[in-house]
Structure 1
């Protein structure tokens, strides 16, 4: 059975029906929400089922189609659908396990298969919060993070337990009628000997190479273990917290990655990526470091993280609407102010002649979107409703003009027609005017008049509104069009207040452009201390704007990420005025190793790390080079499609050769590089010695 076809009026009737009767608990939505014009949200499948019942007399039944089909059907018919991004929090104490998700129960631990962990922590009775000391290569917030924190907190107490107690330690019970899974073991082999599937285990390294191994499948399967740790080793009032959400379809197919060596613990304040907190705090960040450290990939992860409010950090999971909150540019030596901020661009006129018009650059367009959202988020619903009413009235007016309803008259009897309309201007023809038979009006002025809620009956009203001392010729025509559009205004609808969103602008290779030429006067506005109206500036082409007094500012909801390679010659000449406006964060070559989990091959991942580490030691030891020339992990992601020999011959060898051109004994240096690279090979790996 496909999604039943229903008319729009019955969708509206279904909303009324649901408002009066509610939604049965088993028909609530877990993934998508239909956003109605009153701001309330409704489960799409159930709305369609009720509409089908009202229109066709069918039973209210949602079993014949899935949530995606319902979402696609409603979206195709012009309805707004949003992803339901509900976060839940589990609190574990020595005597209870409770969740903000009403459906959660310890009697069905298998339900954890469909959830993804977002954050985990230990909260001491005095309020101290302890996070996971992540290891290098360890993915943040996996199904294993919570038990790893428990091992981290109680490592010594657990190690001191007798072997018999470790083997009887409660780990997981799927339901009251199922047997308790028990045992803390010293290796996967030992766990296997006690009938634990090695693929369903987690390992925790401690004390110079020793391990704890326990059963672990989904995010709920270690709740018993964590609670038992609190009972045996905790103080009264201690607890663990686990924040989680429902998995996306794509995530359901993914597997969790393994771990490698230890790294300094990172602070976490609500986002999945610790660098996201840095960006939110600092507004502007530049990631610098060796090539291949994944700086650009990291920038996109951070963008997804803060735009989804810590819901996910996979850029591909952003909706098309959310992707409008991210912009990506790459600087190069010929990039300039007109590309970035604004400039004159060629335009073909109606008569076929060529001319120029002022166009916004990529940064100014992006900031304008963020600014509109920022300003709208501060407005009341009544103000937004009025603006929406104005927008609809203007659209209706200009649609009528397109159909030929196109002749108007001023108060003095001068007739004129509208010949063209674009995003910024209305073009008039005035045959009766001997001196000026055409004129251009600013749409923004008419919109401001309409949104003000004031009455405009004479030209003096307009001059007072715009606070000028003289009447301009165009105001006679503004007054006519204002009154025409005013007639079409309808009663404002009840709408939601706009949510404040975050916008992330990524500048790849930021040091390769001539910064002062690209940013111009925006040096001031981009400063984190001068965000908002306090940092507004006049741009270089302000005299060509519809309003020459218009100012430009960067709102607080804009975040800028730059990337640069330390070995690029242009780093040394990077503008000092810009340096102090960005927070510089170095990414070393051995950081971001968790990227290699994307190889989906633990043996290849381990070998890649070994080869990279050995090669980087040799690079750093070479006279004339340093750590800035080391190779980052992103080069090794190419191993998805090629082997280690091809990676060396086609990518690493040419890059390293470029590094040492002109040095003494180039051939000997390359031999040492290759020898180091091959030191990390796995047993039995073929090595091509010809390159």
Structure 2
């Protein structure tokens, strides 16, 4: 059932939340048939200041999400539950959202606009329910605008928390941008160029969705007075790869510099240098990094400081708290390093590693040990990572769903962008599914699978490419939701005597007959008139949006554009948007000896765009089932 939408962990969390609500409420919520009672429970338990304050130690996200999803399920007529509905049926109701979906429709139908709602419907369903409630009860445009603004604010919060990513496909977009590729980077310390495997936007999101907190210990309440250090503990690609696992097991950190010299008792950089010299260790200069790193490790680190363990330059895999002073402890299998040691309490361990942008503005540097500080370090992010964990995290459950919004998905080269991952995004091939698959990525040579809590939401402009021409591999793996024009949203909007809903409706009917429904005009172009129903704005919309769009649709076949605007039936040419250009004299242009076919040449009549009568005449005398004149197919340039 998880393949139908919500991740298995998310479903389990919601069901757990519903069980907690049932226990606290004193009645099995699955057996309540009265929708009013369920709505009251939702108000009591889904609000931040409701009954949740009396439930200690519970995961409020699962409580709110569970009761919100249950209310949504019970209020949908097509899925009205029977009494004593099983928990299995509940899981089905909560997993109905598709993992991969594409919103398709003509230009201006609100596809990108709708992605905000679709993403929050997955991540914060209670926000969408509240939005719908306000829209249903709103009596003014301002109330609707405020509701939308609140929804957008919540969307921005999820983006800032890296739970939503947005990308636009185009012809230059590639596998290296989407999955992974080599990138040249300059090391800030050495100034040298190096090539690294860098994760693309999709792999970053999948890694975030896959991350599990494998160990959690109580963290400091405040970071005030604590220094934050970045430290490397071996490298997965080198012979010292096992150092990290040893340090985790032994609750310590080890520094590779300093050879096997005991620096106990050293208080200053000069003391450290003297110990090096006493052991006949040759330093290249007083700025030698061995001297710098050991000095920091022995004399500057102090109990209570925070250490972030990096993995490469773009990820980190652990956060710990220094719990004691430096001590010398030779490594049993390393004769020339890793003898410098400090005890650590590991606060958070992540598998796989988290990307550096979950903590920093940018990447780590190659230095083994250095201090992290603002603005490079985002202390708010670090504080969020160290917040007290809930029961689900302690059980090793993933940190939640992620959404990738792909705008203009049909404009990219799907095979080039997705590569082998086009198979892995299928619900049945996702990680955790019965037929899960993993591939070895070409650059990093690591095993990779797509988690079952990563959702893809694409948008597609049907005027740009119809569904029939879409990549078949993509069509098989995505659900499609049509976003048609909605002139009914404009039925209450009028400019003078011109009803904008009727105007858009008849224009689209004519386009459907002359061309097809994929090339209709969306309502979004006219939505500004809801706020400012003025002729000047209507004129601007027509001149800057509608006419250029029609030119593109009809390849500048001006006569067909005239039919769309009903110009051929306007007896007064003053109100025709497109008129013949009578100023052209073929004899004067080419001479009498050149025979040029006398065909009509058209021009825009700017005067008409400022007259209400011109727009009224688009609607007047309109017939819903318009048939194009015979001349349309012959492009003779005449009208009936």
Please give the range of the TM-score, normalised by the shorter of the 2 chains: 0.3 to 0.5
Give the structure, 1 or 2, with the largest relative contact order (CA under 8 Å, sep 6 or more).
2
TM-score, normalising length: structure 2 = 0.48
